[in-house]
């Protein structure tokens, strides 16, 4: 049972690190994207394009939330999970003599995964900012529909006419 708890905690740790990397990618993509392609897509009624324009216009707020708020939270939580993993591992394996070495290894791995993932993510985000932001905007529109907010209500007149026939 202790082994299962350890592996579940390790899985949660990787998920938190991954979440931090994903939000860093979104924040970076938002700051490097431009409005022009989203206006072109919005004129063609591409789903998510209008929300993409909105995200680019609020790039400073989006990047602040994604990079700083979520990034800091994920960093703090991943460090806490790492500390809990070290304690769990030492207690269950009677390795208190190697406490410092194990702690350094876990902290190093968490740091390497976080920094390396974010560095690779930034390069990816800058090169694919429009595509990433369009996907995020599309997902945000879907979430708004699910929670009851209707984005672009009344704006897609062509689509409404086609569905009425």
22, pLDDT greater than 90: yes
Q: What is residue 156's predicted lDDT score, i.e. its pLDDT? A: 52
Whether the CB-CB separation of 66 and 125 falls below 8 Å is answered with: no
| Residues 132, 134: Cα–Cα separation, whole Å | 5
Predicted confidence (pLDDT) per residue in 72-102, tens digit? 999 999 999 999 998 888 888 877 788 889 8
157, pLDDT greater than 70: no
pTM of the model: 0.83
| Residues 88, 5: Cα–Cα separation, whole Å | 9
Per residue, the 3-state secondary structure of the chain, as one string, reads CHHHHHHHHHHHHHHHHHHHHHHHHHHHHHHHCCCHHHHHHHHCCCCCHHHHHHHHHCHHHHHHHHHHHHHHHHHHHHHHHHHHHHHHHHHHHCCHHHHHHHHHHHHHHHHHHHHHHHHHHHHHHHHCHHHHHHHHHHHHHHHHHHCCCCCCCCCCHHHHHHHHC
Q: Of residues 95 and 68, which shows the higher confidence score?
A: 68
Where does the pLDDT of residue 111 fall: very low under 50, low under 70, confident under 90, or very high at 90 and above? very high
């Amino acid at each position: 049972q202790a082994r299962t708890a350890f592996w579940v905690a390790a899985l949660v740790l990787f998920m938190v690190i991954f979440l931090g990397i994903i939000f860093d990618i979104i924040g970076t993509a938002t700051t490097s994207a431009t409005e022009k392609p989203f206006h072109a897509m919005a004129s063609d009624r591409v789903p998510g394009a209008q929300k993409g324009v909105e995200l680019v216009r609020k790039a400073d707020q989006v990047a602040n939330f994604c990079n700083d708020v979520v990034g800091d939270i994920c960093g703090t939580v991943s460090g806490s999970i790492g500390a809990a993993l070290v304690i769990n591992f030492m207690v269950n394996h009677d390795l208190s003599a190697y406490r410092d070495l194990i702690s350094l290894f876990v902290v190093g791995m968490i740091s390497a995964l976080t920094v390396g993932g974010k560095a690779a993510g930034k390069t990816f985000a800058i090169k694919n900012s429009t595509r990433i932001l369009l996907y995020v905007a599309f997902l945000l529109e879907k979430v708004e529909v699910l929670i009851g907010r209707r984005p672009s209500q009344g704006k897609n007149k062509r689509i409404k006419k086609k569905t009425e026939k």
